[in-house]
Each structure stands twice: as C-alpha cells, then as structure tokens.
Structure 1
Amino acid sequence: MTDVVLDGVDKVYPGGQMAIRNVRLRIDHGELFVLLGPSGCGKSTILRMIAGLEEITAGELWLNGALANDLQPRDRNVAMVFQEGALYPHRTVKGNMMFPLEAARGDRTAATAKVVELARALGLSTMIDRLPQTLSGGQRQRAAIGRALIREPSLFLLDEPLSSLDAGMRTELRVEIAALVRASGTTTVYVTHDQVEAMTMADRMGVLRDGVLEDVGTPEQIYADPATVFVAAFLSNPPINLLQATLWAVEGEGMMLDLGSQRLALPWDDPRASWLITHHGKPVIVGIRPDMLAPIAPGSPAAPGTTLSGQVRALEFHGHEWLAYAEAGMPTVDANDIGATRPPDPPAHSEPAGLMARLRTRLHRPSFTDETPQEKHAGHHRRSDLLFRIASGDRPNHGDHVALTVDLERILLFAADGRRVTPVQR
C-alpha cells in the first residue's frame, strides 16, 4: 500500500492549454478514492500523472513519502486499468493474468495457483481458458482488473473502467470492484463521470471542474454540505433547484430570501444567521433539493416564509414516486454559468468579472404573472420550475396550484461566485 500526495500540481499542454490547476490532494493508505467530474475536466490527466504517463508541469507528486515527479512508470509499483481493458488478444484469460508474473520471472507453479485463486474471486473460473474476443464486456474488464491486481501493486488506478458497459453490468461490477479492492487493501484511485459510481464506491471523493478540485470529502459530506454550487448540482439526481435571491436582514423577522415573486425567511436564531448577515443586500443562490420540498394539503396552515407555491406544469412517473414540475415564477440559475474556469482560492469577496451585474439583471426579471415570453429563461433546463418529489399515488394533476413547505434547515446558500456562504464542515 501507499499514500499519494499532490502538492500544488499543474499540467499545461503545448499551446498553453491548462488542464490541471494547483491541485492539492492527499489519498491515504488503503483508501478507495474517486475522482468525479464531467468529461474533459482533467480526471484522467491526474491519473496519468500519478502513473507517470504524463509529466507534471509544476508542483510535486509524492508516493509513500518519496518525491515521484521524475520516477519512471516501472519504478512506481502502480497498476492501471483503462476504459477498454486492453487485454492481449492472443492470450487467454489465464495467459493475460499470468503475464505480469511471467515478466517478473517468479515460480510458475505458485503463479498458476495465484491466477486460479484470483480468477475464482473475479467469477472467471469457468472462462479462464477463453480468448478475450469470446468474452462479454464485463468479463473482459474483470480479466483486466485481475491482470492488474495479480502483481499486488502498492497503488491501483482505474480510468472509467465501466463507462462502456450497459447499466445492469455497471451496477454488478461496481459492487464487485469495490469489494475486491477493499479486500486487497490496495490504495485505489478510481476515475468516473458517473455520480452513482462515485457515491456508492468511494471512501472519499474529489469533484473536479475545468482542472480545479472544487471539493473533497466523504460522499455523505459532499452531498449534504457541498462547497460550491457546481458540486451541489453535479451530485444531484433528480436535479437540485437553484434559485436566484437577494438576502435582506429584516429586524424582527430574520434573514429574508427575496426570490422575486416569493420569499423565504430564516429566523435570527438559525445558526447560519451570523454568517448570512455579511451578505445583506447581496445576491445569493438558494439550493433546494427536490426532497426538501413537500406538498401541503389544501387548506392546511403554513408559517409565513416557510413555503413556496406554483402551478403543476409536468409530471414524471418513476415507479416508486412521481417527480412534479411546478411553474413558480422565480428566476433560476444554471450551475454551469457560475464560477466557471476560475483559479483556485481567489481573494476574499472577489467575483468573476461581470457576474454580479449579470445576477442583478436576472434578479429583476419579470415574474410569471407578467406577459413575458418564456424565452427569457432560455438556457435554464427547467425554466422557472420547482422540481419536487411525491409518493406514488399521491400526485396532483396538471394545472393544479400547489403549496410546498420548505425544509429550511437543509437548504444550501451560495454567494454570487458559486461558493458556499456558510462554512463547509469537513
């Protein structure tokens, strides 16, 4: 086993393309660490730098306490599995798994016994003498993982190994891979763009965007307490509601979130109030996951500042539940437009150029009661909808007006640059 430390690592390609920006990360002994992010964000580049397949432009890479920037790949004791497995087509499953042991010139009898044992653990015992072209995609990936693990590397790297498989096979293999690497105790770095893989497999995870590491923590920490609006949106299925608001400190009421046509209020005894007071009069982004909204029965009382309302525009049936879209007349935010391609750790209170002006413009858009073309919301995936969940069989009808109580203790508040207003707990 080994630990991995990236200290201020940059990667700049010829032509000035910056792929990785000042990444600082520690991966501990025996940890299954997942790098998550959209395509092109730099996940595989980090993996290849750890493996020694890409040179580091700036910063330091440490493996097990030793500086590794100039170490050759063969000297790092690292095993890597690529997206397609890359098996030798002329070798059987057994031959592929034997290859690293043959190259090491170890005892052949002991090597054969080791291959048979690992093939059994991977569910490949009945196909150990078959060639790769006779295997399914999932079987080939298991064989590739077996070939990597047979060496007993100190560090195991997996670059989107399940992305080319169908959904059912991905579900089965992610459970097997996680169990296998944990049983081996090998430090593992796993790259994926699939949030379900990341959430279900990781001991800890990091979320990348445009080469910047935006958040690091356990899956539970990052989901419940995301550091940026992008992280909150990326780790959200169904999508999080992101609403534009202006924050006002109102004597006798608390911190008022002015959403244009509607309002929410956080009382002064809310633990977040002391942090929010510094944003008085400023635009903020309010994140409300669909499970933070619950329909109120018609005629039921609701405390002022704790509910939102809208008219049901669309319904989706998901078997165990319905997802409902309610037109609420509040301006929404696209997380991809907020804080993109920014350098890490900007000075306090700084914001991307022109963003404050853009947010102020959006905050003064007319509400849905005005006769304004819907194109005003172009670029937002849900227009001014609120997305909420309802139990199967309990759904409203199209066109119904619904009142929704908001779980104010769990809502997320972000500044105009996309960073959390309140401290992130790690």
Structure 2
Amino acid sequence: MDVVLDGVNKIYPGGQHAVHDLRLRIEDGELFVLLGPSGCGKSTVLRMIAGLEELTSGDLWLGGSVANGLSPRDRNVAMVFQNGALYPHRSVRGNMMFPLEITRGDPDEARSKVRELARALGLDSMLDRLPGTLSGGQRQRVAMGRALIREPALFLMDEPLSSLDAGLRAELRVEIAALVRATGATTVYVTHDQVEAMTMADRIAVLREGVLEDVGTPEQIYHDPATVFVAAFLSSPPINLLRATAWAVQDQGVVLDMGSQHLTLPWDDPRASALISHHGAPVTIGVRADALTQATSEPTGQELIGHVRTLEFHGHEWLAYAEAGIPSVDPAEFTQRPIQPPTPVQPSRIRALFGRSTPEPEPEPERTGHHRRTDLIFRITTGPRPARGDDVRLAVDLERLLVFDSKGRRVDPVAR
C-alpha cells in the first residue's frame, strides 16, 4: 500500500501547529523512516496515518484512495508503540492470537500462524509466558508479532526500541528490518536515532518543528543534506560548521573567507557559479571529520591550520580537536520562525585584500548566542598522530565541502 500526504497540517487547540503543509509519498513495500528530534511532529504524522489523530487540513491517501474519513479499523494498518502495550493477563500466545480471535477465523489455522511467526521472532519457547516475565526486547517482539499476524498492508512503528539498552537496540533493528521486508508490507518507522534511520531505511524524511527539512535515501541525506540542520543531525562525530563570507574573485574563483583563514572554490567547480549570487553574503561551511586529513605535502592554499587541544581514542580511530580561530555555527540559529531584525556583516580581510567594491551584503539572521569552542574535529585512522599542543595543517577535501546560505539551505543544487 502506498501512502501519500498532500499538504497535511495538524493544529491542536490553543494554536500549536504540530505539522506544517507536509507533502510526502511513501511507496508500496518501502521501509520509510520519519526522523527528527523530540517534538518535531513525527509521531503526530504516524498517528494521523493510523487514524488516531484527525487532519486539520490536507489529504491522506492510502492505496490510491482518500482516507481522511476512514476509521482506524478500516485502514488495514497495524501499529507498534514504544512500550509494546501488551495485555498483561494474556500469555505470549494469547497476545499474538488476539487479532485473529477478533476476526473469528479458523482456530487451528490461527494457532499454526502464531507458532510460525513466533519461531521467526525467536519466541517459540515463550508462548505460554506472561508479558511480566519477559525482557524489554522480548515484549517488543511479541508486540511486533501481534501486529504482523494480521498481515496488514501498512505497518506503523513508533520508536519501538527507544526504551531498550544500546546492545539490544542494535540486535533488534537488524531483526526488525529483515522481518518487515520479508512480509512486503509498507512500513513507516518513527525514531529520533540517526543510527536506526541510516541502517534500516530505504528512505528517510527529516522533520523539524513540524516542517519537512529533507527526504531521500540514507546516502543522499548524509552526503547531500538540504539544510544545515540535516547535516548536523546526521553526523557522528559532529560536523564542523564554520562561519564564512563568500567573495567572487575574478582570477581565482569564490573565496570562502573565515576571517583568519580561507578556502577557494575554483571557477571550474559548479558550486562556484551557484555562489556568485551570494557575493559578499554570509555562508556556512560544513566539513565532516573524515574530509579533513593531516597535510604532509607542500602547502596548496586549500588547508586549514589548527592547534591540537585534545585527542579521543575510539578503538578503531582517534578523534582530534584542533583550535582554529574560526567562528563556529550552531544549527539552532536557523529556525523556521521569523527572524529578528538583521545584524550587518562587517567588512572582511578578503575585501580589504582584493580592494573590490561590493554590493551591500544580505542581512544575517540574528545570532542566538553560541559558546561552543571553535574546534576543527578530524579523524585519525592511519599515519602519525599529533600530540596535544601540536600545530597541524589540515587538507580539506573540497569535493565534500558543503556550503549553506544565510537561511541554512544548501547553496549548490542538490541532485535527487
């Protein structure tokens, strides 16, 4: 069953606008993940699909038909909640049998289906136990079994692993992804965990403050994020977000001025053309930790200089934090709410260096106050490791450089 949300809004009494003009298409048989921080509206979207919340406006289509007025029982959907919501007085067998008992099907066939599904879920030795005697992971498997046994056309999961420990989450996310794909049912999975989303999803939709920020495959979302928020949210370790000003220089390209340091995108780089209209304007540069490497060759002018402040050992790699004197950017600066009166941009070193007259720069959003140290985070997997206090020269993989405008959206077009 395919799912289409066409201009869907949800406004609660009191004016809380939980979901803003959401437009999404979820393909038949797809494992689709709604990802975002707490309070972003993802569970509200799931409950509207299930029929547990009414749409304020817009249309919901299920399997090619408008479903706005359908009751939950008429939508052929099954839902697994965060806590499993099992019947405590019924055994594992009784919980899994319950949906089939309601339909008054053949009891022998129902018992056979329960045994088969319990075997697939690793519950065949627990069929006579009560939920209170099971672990958290086992209870979630029972909840999944109770939902799947109906063979729904649409399977909805609302953060089913959030209450489990890290080791069990890693184990169950593999089992869940394999199981729902084996059924062929369309699955909408809600989580705030980027690892769950990246490892399980066919596609991901990232929500923030009820607004769709980006949608695509895990690879697209990670390598080509549409906004600063998406780049930061799907990043471990944190992406380096650096404040800069873009200057178009005729014989060089677009210079990204970070005050004491700069990088240059040559004119043969497609992003340089896109940045011409941002001449003199503030931009945000995104550089992931693995796009920075210690430079060993002669300087090329495409490096950043830092002073190693601390090192972290992660077993398979080291993470280094180098003070670079570059202002950092907090993704929280870029909100969907109206911005306050602008703060003008001060003339930069690049402007003085090239002596070019420039148009008035576009206004920056008011900064919300950000006190994070201006460290460059980079990975060390091979080669020599610097010591605390060392100066380092870091080569930047310009092909992986992300540039965002003053509103936090990608400057260079994202091919999807």
Which TM-score band applies after superposition, normalised by the shorter structure?
A: over 0.9
Q: Which runs of 5+ in 2 are unaligned?
A: 350-366
Is the 2:329–2:370 contact (alpha carbons within 8 Å) kept by the matching residues of 1?
Answer: no
> 5+ residue gaps in structure 1?
343-351, 365-375
Question: What residue number does 2:313 align with?
Answer: 317
Structure 1 residue 380: deviation in Å? 3.8
Shift in alpha-carbon separation, 1:363–1:225, aligned structure 2, 3 A: farther
Residues 363 and 84 of structure 1: is their aligned pair in 2 closer, same or farther, counting only changes over 3 Å? farther
> Residue 387 and residue 419 in structure 1: after superposition, are their counterparts in 2 closer, same or farther (change >3 A)?
same
1-structure distance, mates of 2:28, 2:272: 39
Task: Provide the C-alpha distance between the structure 1 equivalents of 2:17 and 2:348, rounded to a whole number of angstroms.
Answer: 34
Q: 1:379 aligns with which of 353, 358, 370?
A: 370
What whole-Å deviation, never above 9, does each CA across 1:116-171 have from its counterpart, x for those lacking one?
A: 00000001111111110110000000000000000001100000000000000000
Query: What is the 5 A alignment of 1:380-395?
Result: 380-381=371-372, 383-391=373-381, 394-395=384-385
Q: Which amino acid aligns with 2:370?
A: G
Counterpart of 2:125 in 1: which secondary structure? helix
1:91 is the counterpart of 2:86: no
Cα distance in 1 for partners of 2:332, 2:382 equals 32
Alignment of 1:192-231 (within 5 A): 192-231=191-230
Equivalence for 2:336: 341
Letter of the 1:419 partner, please give it.
R
Cα distance change on mapping 1:317 and 1:164 into 2, 3 Å: same
Give how far 1:251 is off: 1.6
Shift of 1:341: 2.6
1:277-426 paired onto structure 2 within 5 Å: 277-297=276-296, 300-304=297-301, 306-338=302-334, 340-342=335-337, 352-354=338-340, 356-357=342-343, 360=345, 379-381=370-372, 383-391=373-381, 394-426=384-416
Identity of aligned residues (%): 70
- Residue of structure 1 equivalent to 2:353: none
Report if the CA contact (8 A) 1:203-1:219 is conserved: yes
1:126-275 superposed matches below 5 A: 126-275=125-274
SS at match of 1:45: helix
- Cα deviation for residue 354 of structure 1 reads 3.8
Question: Residue 197 of structure 2 aligns to which amino acid in structure 1?
Answer: A
Asked if residue 118 in structure 1 is aligned to residue 108 in structure 2, the reply is no
Separation of aligned partners in 2, 1:109 and 1:229: 56
Count of residue pairs brought into register by the alignment: 399
SS at 1:387's partner residue?
strand
Runs (4 or more) in structure 1 with deviation over 6 Å come to 361-364
CA distance in structure 2 between the partners assigned to 1:36 and 1:197 by the alignment: 9
Q: TM-score, normalised by structure 1?
A: 0.91
1:393 to 1:423, Cα distance in 2 relative to 1, 3 A: closer
Moved more, 3-12 or 384-393: 384-393
**Matching residue of 1:107:** 106
Relative to structure 1, is the Cα distance of residues 155 and 355 closer, same or farther in structure 2, using a 3 angstrom cutoff? farther
Name the structure 1 match of 2:359: none
Alpha-carbon offset, residue 273 of structure 1: 1.6
Name the residue aligned to 1:349.
none
RMSD: 1.7
The one-letter code sitting in structure 2 at the alignment partner of 1:262 is Q
User: Is this contact kept in 2: 1:324–1:390, CA < 8 A?
Assistant: yes
Q: Look up the SS of the partner of 1:419 in the other structure.
A: coil
C-alpha change, 1:363 and 1:132, in structure 2 (3 Å) is: farther
Change (3 A) 1:231 1:356: farther
Q: Give 1:41's aligned residue.
A: 40
